[in-house]
Amino acid sequence: MHPALSVIFFTTTAGAGYGLLMMLGVLAPIGILPPDRVFGAVALALALALVSTGLFASLFHLSHPERSWRAMLQYRSSWLSREGVAASVTYLPALVFILGWVGVGNTSGTWGLMGVAASFMALVTVLCTAMIYQSLKTIHEWHNSLTLPNYLMLALMSGGVWLSALVHLFGIQAPTVDAYVIAYTAIAWGLKVAYWNHIDTTRHPSTRRTATGIRARGAVRLVDPPHMTDNFLLKEMGFRIARKHALKLRRITHVTAFAVPLVGLVVALVLQGPVAAGGAVVAALSASFGVVLERWLFFAEARHTVMLYYGEGPA
């Protein structure tokens, strides 16, 4: 699949924003994060800025953004529509929670419940995003039960690293945050390894033979494509990445998205002061870069059944 930059930008920034919101909405009400108004303002502003820029990026990916309100209508059948509804609903409790934390300096009671609600809606939004991809039977690399947990854990991880960084920059004593984010990163890494292993060792049921129904002996080969130049289908779905390039990018992802952040977070957890803050910031920057790379690969490695008609082998 063609790795469109707007979609990569949307899913990674919004994912990090929702991950951050998920953590803030729960950790503040249960008292792991203090109701410090400045810290709350910065952390929540970051979360909402990430979410909103992501959503805007996704709107500008559309050729008719002025009609985008219609995308909320078909929630009964479409995961994209459900995502739109969930993303919009998330703003309501999130704004009330902001009012409580930043305006009143209170994250308990009803204000806290609003945080938990925002956190829950952020979770639902991320799950809907993941289901858009996971539900597509045409793409082997997406239509498997690892896509959804991968999306969720990467969102928690990429939001969590920023929470860790903020906590240290504000000099807040909350080692639990580092511990959580270390756990998220480890789980996300394990899931990504499982995901790559899965797509490398399994096959899509469709082949050139099932696609054409041609039953003659021997392999079915394309002699003549329907046209000389690339059409919409080839531009949108014909993207292919060489195996050796993919493997190299996977290695860089292992290092930047998971290994470096883990080291940085452990430094942040066990050490104190500026070194700890430095570790957390390095973890945040590296993870953010790594997740963009991971998302690029998620698209670039995905192969669509229509390519069987253009002479490609099965996915």
Partner 1 sequence: MTSLPQNETPRKLGLVIDLDICVGCNACVTNCKEWNTGGHSAPLTDLHPYGRDVDGVWFNRVHTFEAGSGRDHRVVHFPKSCLHCETPQCVTVCPTGASYKREEDGIVLVHHDWCIGCKLCAWACPYGAREFDEDAGVMKKCTLCIDRIYNENLNDADRRPACVITCPAGARHFGDLGDPNSAVSRLVAERGGYDLMPELGTQPTNKYLPPRPRRDHAEATGAPDLLEHLDEEDQPGGFLGWVDRLLSR
Give contact residues for partner 1 (rule: CB under 8 A).
1, 61-65, 67-68, 70-74, 76-81, 84, 132, 135-139, 205-206, 208, 210-233, 236-237, 304-306, 309-310
- HSE at residue 55, side-chain half, CA atoms within 13 A, is 23
Contact 121, 83 (CB under 8 A): no
Nearer to partner 1, 145 or 229 (CB): 229
CB of 309 to partner 1, least distance (A): 6
Amino acid at 283: A
Contact 90, 47 (CB under 8 A): no
CB of 294 to partner 1, least distance (A): 20
Residues facing 304 on adjacent strands:
139
CB of 225 to partner 1, least distance (A): 6
Nearer to partner 1, 1 or 269 (CB): 1
CB of 296 to partner 1, least distance (A): 17
Nearer to partner 1, 68 or 197 (CB): 68
CB of 140 to partner 1, least distance (A): 11
- Say which residues have a Cβ less than 8 Å from residue 59's Cβ, sequence separation at least 6: 65, 68
Query: What would you measure as the largest C-alpha separation in the chain, in angstroms?
Result: 76
Nearer to partner 1, 67 or 244 (CB): 67
Nearer to partner 1, 78 or 108 (CB): 78
- Among all chains, which residue has been given the structure tokens 């469109």? 4
Amino acid at 48: L
| 225 token code pair | 């494509």
Sign of CA pseudo-dihedral 137, 6, 116, 90: negative
Nearer to partner 1, 263 or 306 (CB): 306
Contact 130, 146 (CB under 8 A): no
| 8 token code pair | 């990569």
CB of 22 to partner 1, least distance (A): 24
3-state secondary structure of 304: strand
Nearer to partner 1, 65 or 103 (CB): 65
Neighbours of 247 (CB within 10 A): 12
CB of 305 to partner 1, least distance (A): 4
